[in-house]
A and B are shown apart, each in its own frame.
Chain A
Amino acid sequence: DADVTQTPRNRITKTGKRIMLECSQTKGHDRMYWYRQDPGLGLQLIYYSFDVKDINKGEISDGYSVSRQAQAKFSLSLESAIPNQTALYFCATSDSRDRTDTQYFGPGTRLTVL
């Protein structure tokens, strides 16, 4: 089984709809992240959480919110989806005890907003 899972893997929605992307991990990591990737580009950080009670905005948090329900679960919500939020969304995890703090990514959710 995959260490970091994301649901759904693909989603098509309409402008104005609320949508939630979910991420869960079995790696036992304390840190979790949400990124988005636009076609042909690198990744941009949306939100990150260093533990259950710690939530921080990334560089492109406008229009998004998150919830860290447990150490293993981190959800991303689009309150009112718009077409320019069409992108590939990645969840990632890392371990603060790891000196490298390497981030490991889930398989991604491909979101299309019509």
Chain B
Amino acid sequence: AQKITQTQPGMFVQEKEAVTLDCTYDTSDPSYGLFWYKQPSSGEMIFLIYQGSYDQQNATEGRYSLNFQKARKSANLVISASQLGDSAMYFCAMRGLHGSGNTGKLIFGQGTTLQVKP
């Protein structure tokens, strides 16, 4: 079975500093994708970044980067130069990819609430 674990229910970071949000996963799929989503207090789910299990390099999208350690089954999100607008809940998610029993299901972690202090 697939499982995502986010062990940090809540975190604080000072504005302009970097912060790392932890995510570990468990899967028996040989090919999978890892995703991070942001959910601000307004409720929408915003896609941030994707990492494929066979991607050679860690993913980056602007201020977001993913520290992917396949052997340790971790996919931590790093936010650089935090801004007040980064205050939100962050979800790590995983799914199997094409040709590996893809059922369409995204497995979500419990989320981490990040608060950015001015």
Residues on the A chain within 8 Å of B103, using CB: 48, 56
A31 and B95 CA atoms in complex are apart in Å by: 14
Query: A41-65 vs B: 1/0 string, CB under 8 Å?
Result: 1111100101000001011000000
State whether A43 touches B106 (Cβ < 8 A): yes
Please classify how large the interface on chain A is, using the bins under 10, 10 to 19, 20 to 34, 35 or more.
20 to 34
Do A108 and B45 have beta carbons less than 8 Å apart? yes
The answer to whether A42 and B105 have CB atoms under 8 Å apart is no
B44 touches A107 (CB 8 A): yes
Q: Is the CB of A110 within 8 A of B43?
A: yes
CA–CA, A90 to B43, complex, Å?
Answer: 10
Tell me whether A56 and B35 are in contact (CB under 8 A): no
Determine whether the beta carbon of B45 is less than 8 Å from that of A42: no
Closest to B97 in A: A101
Q: Is the CB of A100 within 8 A of B110?
A: no
The one of A59, A104, A105 that contacts B105, using a Cβ cutoff of 8 Å: A59
Of the candidates B35, B43, B98, the one whose C-beta lies within 8 Å of that of A102 is B35
Chain B positions near chain A (C-beta within 8 angstroms): 4, 33, 35, 37, 43-47, 50, 52, 91, 93, 95, 97-98, 102-106, 108-111
User: Can you add 6 more A-B contacts, CB < 8 Å, to A33-B104, A107-B44?
Assistant: A35-B106, A42-B93, A42-B109, A56-B103, A58-B105, A59-B105
> What is A's interface to B at a CB cutoff of 8 Å?
31, 33, 35, 40-45, 48, 50, 56, 58-59, 88, 90, 92, 96, 99-108, 110
